[in-house]
Chains A and B, each alone.
Chain A
Amino acid sequence: MSTEILSRSQAATVDRARRDRPLDFIGIALTAITLLVALASFFPIYWAIITSIKTDSEVISGGNSLWPNRFSFDSYVHIWTNTNIGIWYVNSFVTSLAITILVIVSSAGCAYALSQLDFPGRRVIYVLILACFMVPMQALIVNHFVLMAQFKLLNTWAGIILPQLIVPVTIIVYKQFFDSVPKEFREAAQMDSAGHFKILFRIYLPMNWGVTAALAIITFIGAWNAFLWPFLAATGEATMTVPVGITQVKDAYGIVYGKLMASAVVAGLPVAIIYLIFQRRVTQAIMLSAGVKG
């Protein structure tokens, strides 16, 4: 009787172990598939880079080899000497940096006022921000263009920058963080007769330094990647940004693929580097702004 019970429980253990083993096998298979799909997802980027460092003749006759026979940076030299990519780079950096700074400064100030101060017109500003989430910027291209034409700002840095300053998410995220700073900090500072500007710059902003970093990084990436507005606002080659220039300017390249891939790599490099360095901040910023949209 007792041996029977024992053997039954043993059988159950063996049975469970047997059930666990194939499960583990499935687990390994799943991991392998995941890794393969991840590689496949990365492959187009790899392929663009590899194509850009092949020689022209290899690009079209190499039978699609995954590694260049001979490393050649001719494509990079070619786009550097034959296009205005240097100028586009300057334009992109100046406009993206200006957008980042202006958005962060104006948003932080507005968010502090909304969070900590009582003043007439608060509700109006709230409604304005909410309305902003609903109006698609793509619908405003016509009137942004008219407005910038009236200001004589087409084909200037300012013309590219101004319509891109509408980023309501930043204000809401800042406000949420300023709301969560304990009131005691402000009251203590006010006891020491510190003004609001001092409180903002010495307490609220430093306490939320991580948020500022995350928002600044994501704003910069967004401005660097912007296509539609810079494409409309900059019609001359001299004021184009990198993403616009590399798709709009075609010169008589001959075999173009290597050169086009070189320009793609050069255009994507700054944001790719920023992402790889500040991975966690980028993720944080995306989660924060998605949370607001929800």
Chain B
Amino acid sequence: MLRDKRQEYLTALILVGPFVLIYGVLFVWPTIQMVMLSFTDAPLIGPGEWVAWENYVKILGHRLFHSAFWNTAYFVLLTVIPNTLVSLLIAMAVNRLDGWKQGLVLACFFLPYILPVSVVFLTWNWIIDVQYGLAQVFVRPFNGGEPMSLTRTIPAFMPTVAFVTIWWTMGFNILLFIAGLRTISPEIYEAASLDSAGRWRQFSRITWPLIWPITVLVLTIQLIAQLKIFDQVYLFSIGGRQDATITLVQYIYKLAFQQNRGGEAATAAVLLFAMIVVLSVLQYQLLRARGEK
């Protein structure tokens, strides 16, 4: 029996070994190092002096950090709620189709989601191009008949990137919503139509309350994902005034890789990390509260 136990431990060790090695070296160690680095004035590569909380004071008072924070918040605002509403609407529309029609329409909405961000960027950069872009047909009337660069005009930048992001990622949300809609029994709707409840009443009294848990899930997954935004915003801002549209991860990138300030970059990373931990815990509590109800 004791030998069995020992053998079980040995087996467990072999099975868990790769995981422990990978996560130890590539997750636990860098996380500890990040916190340590944030208290030093080290460059990206190389040692530095211990400066205690100096970096934190500096970063929290840094104007670019404030821009990065507010730009990120603005981007979250422009994407999360609109994306959720549009996705729910489309999911309901797709859900009432049947057979091959549903499969085809769903594929149309989902295909963008599996494409790399570079492809999304190149495609839309061409569509909104000032000189030859197709979208200028829609832009001109709003700009006195003149074409306008949507990514070089600062007020238009975030809404444009948010629009592209919604187009790119809504497939994921639509999928979750459709799965949720399918769990609502059709008998409830039949009973409602016998009581001659109209489409709007059916939606507000049946669909919306029953889909609410999925809506919360979709909202929180997106919220945390969009806080970590980098790729699209960075790509669309290449060659433009990047500081005006900088986001939090971009700020970390700039400090570390463009200004060689490793310690300060780590500090910004710890701050981002703290925000996401707080939100994750809130999300967990929110979803658990739902589960207990």
Contact = CB atoms under 8 A, between A and B. Distances in A.
Contacts of A139: 34, 249, 252, 269-270, 272-273, 276
A271 B116 contact: yes
B217 A290 contact: yes
A22 to B, nearest CB: 12
Contacts, number: 259
B132 interface: yes
Contacts of B276: 134-136, 139
B70 interface: no
A138 B26 contact: no
A196 B15 CA distance: 10
A251 interface: no
Interface string A133-146: 11110111111111
B97 A31 contact: yes
A246 B118 contact: yes
Interface of A: 26-27, 30-31, 33-35, 37-39, 41-42, 44-45, 47-48, 51, 59-60, 64, 102, 105-107, 109-110, 112-114, 117-121, 125, 128, 132-136, 138-147, 149, 162-163, 165-166, 171, 195-197, 200, 221, 224-225, 227-228, 232, 242-244, 246-247, 257, 260-261, 263-265, 267-268, 271-272, 274-276, 279, 282-283, 286-287, 290, 293-294
Interface residues of B, number: 89
Contacts of A271: 114-116
Interface stretch (B16-24, B53-61, B75-83): B16-24
A282 B266 CA distance: 35
Contact of A261 (B126, B230, B238): B126
Given A132-B23, A261-B123, A286 B8 contact: no
B154 to A, nearest CB: 22
Contacts of A38: 104-105, 108-109
A268 B22 contact: no
A44 B12 contact: no
Interface stretch (B88-96, B141-149, B183-191, B203-211): B88-96
Contacts of B101: 31, 35
Interface in B15-50: 15-16, 18-20, 22-23, 25-31, 33-34, 37, 44-45
- Describe A's contact surface by its main secondary structure: helix
Contacts of B277: 134-135
Query: Which of B97, B111, B175, B272 is packed against the most chain A CB atoms within 10 Å?
Result: B111
B217 A109 contact: no
A268 B116 contact: yes
B97 A142 contact: no
Contacts of B112: 41, 44-45
- Describe B's contact surface by its main secondary structure: helix
A146 B37 CA distance: 11
B203 to A, nearest CB: 13
B18 A120 contact: no
30 contacts: A30-B93, A31-B97, A35-B105, A37-B90, A41-B108, A44-B112, A44-B127, A45-B112, A59-B132, A114-B16, A121-B16, A128-B23, A133-B280, A134-B276, A138-B230, A140-B27, A142-B252, A142-B262, A143-B30, A143-B34, A145-B256, A149-B45, A171-B19, A196-B11, A196-B15, A197-B11, A227-B117, A243-B117, A260-B122, A267-B116
Interface string B148-170: 00000000000000000001000
Interface string B219-240: 0010010011011000100100
Nearest to B280: A134
List the 7 closest A-B pairs by CB distance, nearest first.
A119-B12, A143-B30, A110-B19, A106-B18, A109-B15, A38-B108, A139-B269
A32 to B, nearest CB: 11
A146 B129 CA distance: 38
Contacts of A265: 119
Nearest to B136: A64
B146 to A, nearest CB: 18
Nearest to A267: B119
B175 A142 contact: no
